Chain A
Amino acid sequence: MIQFQDLYQQYAADVYRFAFWLCGNQQEAEDIASETFVRAWGNLDRSRTETVKAYLFMIARNLYLKQAKGNGRYAKLDTTQVDHAPNPAAIATDRIQLQQVREMLQTLSETDRSAFIMRVQYDIPYAEITRILKISLSAAKVKVHRTRLKLAILREEKETA
């Protein structure tokens, strides 16, 4: 049987990042990540997905939706997120880009955002994404490509500016 510590150490970073991309807030992402492992641990026998990571993402997303519904909003940006990378000059540009990407992602619907993050950031198979988001395979693919297109347009606009 898988140990809690193993589960946590193997997936905590990914679950935190996934939650962060969803909610855009560090504190909230930490809370969602912690709660995800509590609930996953209490329901290890009830996996509805093929992989552990997809299962954890599904729980994290449900917690985010529940929290967002409770707060009456779906997006809140945390501007205090700090990047700990070593080169401040290079990172200044990266941080602006990252911030722009985060802001762009926050303008998307939650399902578009989730589908894109799961597919592009974490390489979750489309079949798993359809299970988690409860949408069709075509819808999942279109959502991912629509977001990719938006990012490409954002990048193009930045280059021409």
Chain B
Amino acid sequence: MNNVTRDVIIDLLPLYLADEASEDTRQLVEAHLAIDSSLIKLVDQTRNIQPIEDIPHTLNKEQEMKSLEKAKRYTQQRNTFMSTAFLFTGFLVPFRSDGNEVSWFWNETSAALPLSIFVLALSSWIGFAYSVRKLSIDNIQEMKMQQNTFLGLAIMCSLLFALLLGFTNLGQLNSSILYFLFFFAFVGWVGYANAVWRLSK
């Protein structure tokens, strides 16, 4: 019975030592300590645990330089992708006014041009997301990045889909381009919903 009690007291010791035990538990532990000198010794030893002797570190100057170069390369990549992504996305959105009529800037050009810009913008955003992922500090940051990437994809595809459908003469458009945009917009919104759900868990 005593052994069992001692084991129970040892189980309770972390709570007691952390000052997180209830009053009853504290009294129980203290009552036992009063009659068990070996346990008092153990408690003293526990309280006096010192930092373990430091192990020698094996990092050298070469590793420091490698880390520095890698950090510079990754941040440079991230900044470049971000700039080009904003630039190409910016090219897609302008409108122009001809007197009373407002039209999309790319309305009178071939659809291939805005679509090419769209592909470049999309590639830049994906590159940006990938470079941020390489620099992420935890899972939450990674998931937020995924969420934003899907949201960006969804908005860009939905917007371009609407612009091509609303402002462009459909006769000059290959309908597969619209299907293509619709598909990516759908993937974007589903991916975004999934990322939001995963983050909320």
Contacts and interface: CB of A to CB of B under 8 A. Distances in A.
Contacts of B34: none
A22 interface: no
B71 A4 contact: yes
B200 to A, nearest CB: 16
Interface residues of A, number: 50
Interface string B1-35: 00000000010011101111000000000000000
A109 B13 CA distance: 18
Contacts of A16: 57-59
Contacts of B49: 120, 148, 151-152
Contact of B18 (A58, A83, A141): A141
Contacts of A12: 57, 59, 64
B75 A62 contact: no
Interface string A98-130: 100100000000000000000011000000000
B98 to A, nearest CB: 45
B116 interface: no
B13 A145 contact: yes
Interface hub of B53, B64, B67, B70 (most chain A Cβ within 10 A)? B67
Contact of A149 (B17, B53, B58, B63): B17
Interface in A1-28: 4-5, 8-9, 12-13, 16-17, 20, 26
A94 B53 CA distance: 9
A58 B137 contact: yes
A59 interface: yes
B55 A17 contact: yes
Contacts of B13: 145, 149
Contacts of A92: none
B137 A34 contact: no
B56 interface: yes
A120 B17 CA distance: 14
A138 B16 CA distance: 11
Interface hub of B13, B53, B138 (most chain A Cβ within 10 A)? B138
Contacts of B78: 42
B138 A62 contact: yes
B59 A145 contact: no
Nearest to B78: A42
Nearest to B19: A141
Given A120-B49, A142-B18, A152 B67 contact: no
B14 A142 contact: yes
B74 interface: yes
Interface in B60-89: 63-64, 66-68, 70-71, 74-75, 78
Nearest to B50: A120
A76 interface: no
Given A17-B55, A39-B136, A84-B56, 20 more contacts: A5-B64, A8-B68, A13-B57, A16-B57, A17-B57, A30-B59, A33-B59, A34-B63, A38-B135, A39-B135, A43-B137, A46-B137, A62-B138, A66-B139, A81-B55, A120-B49, A145-B15, A145-B18, A149-B46, A153-B42
Interface of B: 10, 13-15, 17-20, 41-42, 45-47, 49-59, 63-64, 66-68, 70-71, 74-75, 78, 135-139, 141
